[in-house]
């Protein structure tokens, strides 16, 4: 029996992926550990290794195919005693490359119109824009064409299989006088904003960018987070002067070791220690269960081309700052290259997102489910600040914690933020 090579689940949230590139071809002999393909998941592009030995008899799913479901057969491998040529035809019966889901077609016939209206004033039928007498068009394009009196038969479609989409309506010819109008829909949606030229946004230069799997998952997860997680927000100001002095002293001591601490490294450490001091905030809501963690694993938000990923620094409390800095730099670099292993971005008991490098003073971050909180860090800037009951100028940073109220009460969240502020302003405490 041939061995079925199936689309793997390369991350916990992966339901489908893009088979970006085949690294083998039909007839190649492979053994366990050989690289077979590059697969784009919801998190990164990852290499897929062979588990079994044999000959690639048939590649069922061609490279570049999108929306390949987890578990779908993507290739057949002939075993040692099998004829690869005999196995290949069976692949076509096992699976087929997933075709893109077409938009619903709208026929040019006004079937809902009264028969008398169709026969009262015969006119020449419009030239078909697709096979048969059907004009392929998206529902939105159909509604806009009807509203503006445009003749879809004269429009060249740029969508899949020549389907007409709204962008194709610019410059379309008006429907010939007396042409039958399509029956109105039962429920009319709210009209789209219309530009001066008549077609919505037609006068604005634009392009449609297809969403990557990562962007689709980001949209889905963060929408679910805001819809299902009751967020509340707590904001504090922290004096960074003592932390900046400590960072300078530590970097001077680390000179020659190839390690340089960033402010973010110290903030990750401070959040981890604060969670250890306030364990009731190091939790996750899980239906009828509250999960309480005994270790602080901090997910740090890293912007990458096309999205965002949160590699995890584990056991922050027990790691020296030099190791946190080394790991953070390495994880961020490999995240941008799409080279993280799943276990390096899965998990995490809380998250930190720092936009201070962009000059952002303060922001509210969206919780990364199923985590219970995320800390949003702004820029450190010179501000008037009261120090020892006297007004002075200090380097001040605003930090906002977003908390899941199902898991973390307001008083517990406030306790965590107070602990974080104390550790930032008296940073030797996080090194004890």
Distance CA 154, CA 134 (A): 13
Annotated active-site positions, please? 405
Q: Estimate to the nearest angstrom the gap between the alpha carbon of 110 and the chain centroid.
A: 41
DSSP assignment of 272-289, as one string?
HHHHHHSGGGSEEEETTE
CA nearest 371: which of 221, 164, 267, 254? 221
Q: What is the CA radius of gyration of the chain?
A: 29
* 140, containing H or E segment: helix 139-148
Is the Cβ–Cβ distance between 403 and 413 less than 8 Å? yes
Name 149's Cβ contacts closer than 8 Å, sequence gap at least 6: 174, 175
Partners of 150 in the β-ladder: 174
Q: How many residues does the chain have?
A: 432
- What is the rounded CA–CA span in Å between residue 184 and residue 186? 6
User: CA–CA separation, 35 vs 420, rounded Å?
Assistant: 45
Residue 36 half-sphere exposure toward CB, CA atoms < 13 A = 30
Give strand pairing partners of 55.
29, 78
Residues 6+ apart with CB under 8 A from 24: 30, 34, 36, 37, 56
Compute the distance between CA of residue 170 and CA of residue 196 in angstroms, rounded to an integer: 12
Cross-strand partners of 382: 395
Pairing of strands 302-304, 231-239: unpaired
- Rounded CA separation 220/223 (Å): 5
DSSP-assigned letter for residue 91:
H
CA 88 from chain centre, in angstroms, equals: 36
Rounded Cα gap, residues 257 and 250, in angstroms: 12
254 three-class SS: helix
**How far is residue 75 from each of residues 54, 85, 137, 143, 160, measured CA to CA in Å?**
12, 14, 35, 43, 26
Rounded distance between C-alpha atoms, residue 257 and residue 110, angstroms: 77
């Amino acid at each position: 029996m041939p061995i079925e090579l199936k689309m793997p689940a390369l991350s916990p949230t992966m339901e489908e992926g893009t088979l970006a590139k085949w690294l083998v071809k039909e007839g190649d002999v492979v053994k366990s550990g050989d690289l077979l393909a590059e697969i784009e998941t919801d998190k990164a592009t990852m290499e897929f290794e062979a588990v079994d030995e044999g000959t690639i008899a048939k590649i069922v799913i061609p490279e570049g195919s999108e929306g390949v479901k987890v578990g779908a057969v993507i290739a057949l491998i002939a075993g040692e005693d099998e004829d690869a040529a005999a196995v290949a035809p069976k692949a076509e019966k096992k699976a087929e490359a997933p075709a893109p889901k077409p938009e619903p077609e709208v026929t040019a016939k006004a079937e809902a119109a009264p028969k008398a209206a169709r026969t009262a004033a015969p006119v020449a039928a419009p030239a078909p824009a697709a096979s048969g007498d059907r004009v392929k068009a998206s529902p939105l394009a159909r509604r806009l064409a009807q509203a503006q009196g445009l003749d879809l038969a004269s429009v060249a479609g740029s969508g899949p299989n020549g389907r007409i989409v709204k962008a194709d309506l610019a410059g379309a010819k008006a429907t010939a006088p007396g042409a039958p109008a399509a029956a109105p829909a039962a429920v009319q949606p709210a009209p789209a904003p219309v530009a001066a030229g008549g077609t919505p946004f037609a006068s604005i230069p634009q392009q449609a960018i297809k969403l990557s799997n990562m962007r689709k998952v980001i949209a889905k997860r963060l929408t679910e987070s805001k819809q299902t997680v009751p967020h509340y927000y707590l904001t504090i100001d922290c004096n960074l002067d003592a932390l900046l002095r400590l960072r300078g002293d530590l970097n001077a001591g680390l000179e020659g070791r190839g390690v340089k601490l960033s402010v973010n490294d110290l903030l990750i450490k401070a959040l981890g220690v604060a969670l250890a001091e306030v364990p009731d905030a190091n939790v996750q809501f899980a239906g009828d269960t509250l999960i309480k963690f005994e270790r602080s694993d901090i997910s740090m938000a890293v912007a990458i081309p096309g999205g965002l990923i949160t590699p995890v620094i584990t056991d922050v409390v027990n790691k020296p700052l030099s190791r946190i800095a080394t790991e953070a730099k390495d994880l961020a670099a490999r995240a941008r290259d799409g080279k993280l292993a799943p276990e390096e971005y899965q998990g995490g008991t809380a998250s930190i997102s720092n936009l201070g490098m962009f000059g952002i003073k303060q922001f509210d971050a969206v919780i990364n489910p199923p985590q219970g909180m995320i800390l949003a860090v702004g820029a450190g800037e010179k501000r008037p600040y009261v120090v020892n009951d006297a007004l002075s100028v200090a380097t001040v940073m605003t930090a906002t914690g977003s908390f899941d109220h199902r898991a973390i009460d307001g008083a517990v969240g406030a306790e965590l933020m107070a602990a974080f502020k104390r550790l930032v302003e008296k940073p030797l405490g996080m090194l004890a």
